[in-house]
Amino acid sequence: MRAFGKVHPLPLFTYFIVMLLFSMFLRNPVIVLLSLLGSGAFAATLTDRREKLSDLKFYIPLSVLIAVTNPLYSHNGRTPLFFVNGNAFTLEAVAYGVFIAAMIIAVLMWSKSYSKIVTGDKFLYLFGRVTPKTALILSVALRYVPILKRQAQKTRETQKTLGLFSTGSVADSLVSGAKVYSALVGWSLENAVETGRHMRSRGWGRGKRTSFSVFRFRFSDGVLLGFTLLSAVLLGLASSGGALRFSFYPTPTPLPLSALPLAAYICFGALAFLPFLIETEENIRWTCLRSKI
């Protein structure tokens, strides 16, 4: 099990919610940069080399597309770089496009790390007693995402052995992709029916529901939860008071660097890199232990 995954589900869930919310809604370049670097460092510890390369092939073109698209539609700003059909391609629009791209990539990486760390049993532990049916539906839905990806890959490989995707043309790719999609839909519906039958045969919905948990709330979990909440309060106060306000238009405003914004940057940076530091410390410790064998 990953080191950060050993944390109690409550501080884990709270941590990811705080990081996602502030990454999405704090329009401050320093906060977004810290979130991007922290999420990227943490995601790198959770993936192997092949998955890292796959992520880079997805994130880099997406970020470039977002950064380039914004200046094509937004012509605000006082620093034109050049003109396209009479519309100004401004430096401020480019900077804002880069900012939006960094924010989206950071949110995507935090979401991916969440899916790897906060597993279905942890989600059910948190919400199973409050809303058992909703928690079960969400847990099953999240579980089906990787299952569908694996099944789609298997179906595609099987279809290749039957001669599909052989010519490489656009028409062949569309027809073959439609057949894979059709097979995947049929498989998912059949699997959903079987899952429902299995649940009924095991007594789901009959009598009082019991639960079993192996999670124990430790002192370190309380420290993480307290630090997360205190950082969220500090960031909320700084944001609501305008201490973190930043604007790209019509010209970029100076970065807030007074005492309160600096404290907010430090807290958020520590919070963003905390999972990476925990995973790194665990890896170093295991390396030292293996070297002594």
pLDDT, position 135: 65
In this predicted structure, what is the pLDDT of residue 165? Answer: 64
Report pLDDT for 275.
Answer: 93
Q: In the chain, pLDDT over 90 holds for what percent of residues?
A: 27
Asked if 39 contacts 271 with a C-beta cutoff of 8 angstroms, the reply is no
| pLDDT for 190 beyond 90 | no
For range 208-220, the mean pLDDT:
75
Q: Which residues of 99-123 are buried (b: 16+ CB within 10 A; e: fewer)?
A: bbbbbbbbbbbbebbbeebbbeebb
The yes-or-no verdict on residue 97 having pLDDT over 60 is yes
**Residue 207: pLDDT band with limits 50, 70, 90:** low
Give me the pLDDT at residue 191, please. 80
Specify the pLDDT at position 1: 52
pLDDT-derived band of residue 167, with 50, 70 and 90 as boundaries? low
Q: Give residue 199's pLDDT.
A: 73
Percentage above 70 pLDDT, the chain: 88
pLDDT digits (tens, 9 = 90+) for 263-287: 999 999 999 999 999 998 888 888 8
Give the lowest-confidence range in 109-118, 159-168, 205-214, 284-293: 205-214
Domain residue ranges of the chain, discontinuous segments joined by +:
4-123+219-291
Question: End-to-end CA distance of the chain, in Å?
Answer: 21
Residue 211 has a pLDDT of: 60
Residues 144-152 have a mean pLDDT of: 77
